[in-house]
């Protein structure tokens, strides 16, 4: 049996996306509170995501959403990572701009410690992709479209997307 490069790369990129989600899950979390939500999207769901990014570009005039949608079109899979931004209960803190976690929750604030946890998880995932030489890029624009579409649920308020590619040249570099 001969397995060609296209099949090898398609199978591998999905396995690596899985490993990226595992790396994010096991990344350190403040006080051991895990509010991370991950997903891997492809196919028609990925097409809906890039269409929403184009809609945002059209509506807002922010053309980087269109540029990034073109990157999503070239990526076979996209890893989504989001965070439920429930206050963690770190005392004293105030990084969110509120006096304490109770005021943050009451004022619909976003816990800065929780968002920091998301950043650490994203770094762990990107490091995993890099370890396997998979091209990737962390994109805010993908996350904004994912929130609009409710891809990670209503509780998730901050999302970033990481398109993945295994090609001779990264589609995420000279955009």
Domain residue spans of the chain: 5-165
Q: What is the pTM assigned to this prediction?
A: 0.93
Q: Is 106 exposed, middle or buried (0-12, 13-18, 19+ CB in 10 A)?
A: exposed
The superfamily in CATH containing domain 5-165 is: NADH Oxidase (3.40.109.10)
Which residue has better confidence, 108 or 81? 81
Within 20-69, strands assigned E span 36-41
User: What sign does the CA torsion over 128, 125, 56, 116 have?
Assistant: negative
User: Which pLDDT belongs to residue 156?
Assistant: 95
pLDDT confidence of 159, banded at 50, 70, 90?
very high
Q: Per-residue pLDDT tens for 126-151?
A: 999 999 999 999 999 999 999 999 99
pLDDT confidence of 9, banded at 50, 70, 90?
very high
User: What sign does the CA torsion over 14, 29, 151, 55 have?
Assistant: negative
Q: Per-residue pLDDT tens for 41-93?
A: 999 999 999 999 999 999 999 999 999 999 999 999 999 999 998 888 888 88
pLDDT confidence of 120, banded at 50, 70, 90?
very high
């Amino acid at each position: 049996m001969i397995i060609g490069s296209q099949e090898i790369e398609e199978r591998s990129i999905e396995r690596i996306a899985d490993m990226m989600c595992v790396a994010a899950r096991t990344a350190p979390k403040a006080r051991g509170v895990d509010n991370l939500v991950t997903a891997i999207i492809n196919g028609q769901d990925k097409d809906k995501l890039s269409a929403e990014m184009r809609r945002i570009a059209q509506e807002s005039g922010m053309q980087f959403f269109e540029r990034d949608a073109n990157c999503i079109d070239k990526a076979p899979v996209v890893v989504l990572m989001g965070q439920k931004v429930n206050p963690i209960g770190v005392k004293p803190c105030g990084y969110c701009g509120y006096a304490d976690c109770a005021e943050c929750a009451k004022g619909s604030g976003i816990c800065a410690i929780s968002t920091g946890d998301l950043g650490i998880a994203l770094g762990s995932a990107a490091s995993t992709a890099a370890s396997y030489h998979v091209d990737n890029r962390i994109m805010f624009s993908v996350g904004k479209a994912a929130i609009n579409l409710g891809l990670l649920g209503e509780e998730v308020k901050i999302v970033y997307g990481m398109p993945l590619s295994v090609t001779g040249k990264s589609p995420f570099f000279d955009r």
